Amino acid sequence: MKVAVYYHNQDVRIEEIPRPQIGPGELLVKVKACGICGSDVMEWYRRKKAPLVLGHEMCGEIVEVGEKVNKYHLGQRVFVSHHVPCNTCRYCLHGHHTACATLHSTNFDPGGFSEYIRIPELNVNRGVYVLPDEISFEEGTFIEPLACVYRGQRLTGLEPGSTVLVIGAGISGLLHIQLAKALGAGKIISTDIQKYRLSAARKFGAEIIISEKEDLVPRILQINNQRPADLVIICAGTDTVIQPALQCVDNGGTILFFAVPPAGVQVPVPITDLWRREITMKTSYGASPADILTAIELIKNKNLPYLSEMITHRLPLEETGLGFKLVAEAKESIKVLINP
């Protein structure tokens, strides 16, 4: 079968490998659609592991069912989670599923940028979700990223009526904007360095957009009755946005590090200022099974009505390299899908 093998962002090759053979308790899924995630193009994270077949925002159809699998059958449309927690360790039992060692060691074989994937028994037991009829394969590629976004906002305790500032209007920022709106946020503000993405932010729910040419802090005070934001969500993986984020959050507010700088970057923390102002700094990685179930319900019920409109490119497997270039350049693309 054909797979797209990642060497680096400018070198993604179409290669042939044997079609996976499944064993007892396993499934073989034909990939119908897989999104390119922003994390797929983070070279500081991915390149050291190359070559490999990436792709985790996938949906497909079950084409083979292994012995002892009774829960699923041929022809079912499914979303498959690549990482699954054990659900029994102290981290899972305390709600920190994404800190679970099992979650960090599980995956399907090979990756979503392929014609077929083998689903190991553990993933079959804990990470396969039947797609409701109301969700298309393309919409299903949003399940994983939306689940991650939902987890982040859930951990912040976002309250209805809150003023939310989203820094970075890539796909994760746009999902944060739409979800915050769906969850009852009051005023939603977006800022980005790309004019194209700011336009997308306005289209997909941000009431106010602020370009890099504007002075962020006084602009937010001006549009928010001289108050900073209750919640600042960082969706840009650079340390240059951290100081502006600290200046734009209100006393008692929260900063969510949804995106983080590259590994090894040290961020100075003005702890005395945070202490006096009671600022909370939160991090959020991945999604738990409960977050995935919530994301499925949100998509099924059309709570985020613009998902399909966010897809800017639909490419065959043979053009996965082009897809990676589009996402890495971050210019005039939002959601790029590969349809094997």
Q: What is the dihedral of CA 319, 320, 321, 324, to 10 degrees?
A: 130
Rounded Cα distance, 181 and 202, in Å:
12
Rounded Cα distance, 264 and 179, in Å:
31
Q: Which CATH number fits domain 2-142+307-338: 3.40.50.1000, 3.40.30.10, 3.90.180.10, 3.40.50.12280?
A: 3.90.180.10
| All CATH 3.40.50.720 domain ranges in the chain, comma separated | 147-283
At 267, the pLDDT band (50, 70, 90 cuts) reads confident
Tens digits of per-residue pLDDT, 283-335? 999 999 999 999 999 999 999 989 999 999 999 999 999 999 999 998 889 99
Q: Which of 17-26, 37-46, 174-183, 227-236 has the lowest average pLDDT?
A: 37-46
Q: Is the pLDDT of residue 122 over 90?
A: yes
AA letter at 129:
Y
* DSSP summary character for residue 211: E
Q: What is the dihedral of CA 39, 40, 42, 45, to 10 degrees?
A: 90
Query: Which residue shows structure tokens 């043979």?
Result: 318
Report the pLDDT averaged over residues 106-116: 97
* 149 neighbors 259 (Cβ within 8 angstroms): no
Residue 90 CA, chain-centre distance (Å), reads: 25
What's the CATH superfamily of 147-283? NAD(P)-binding Rossmann-like Domain (3.40.50.720)
Which two tokens mark 41? 């193009």
Q: How far is CA 100 from CA 96, 252, 286, in A?
A: 7, 30, 11
* 97 neighbors 103 (Cβ within 8 angstroms): yes
Tens digits of per-residue pLDDT, 182-199? 999 999 999 999 999 999
The rounded mean pLDDT for the chain is 95
Beta partners for 165?
A: 189, 232
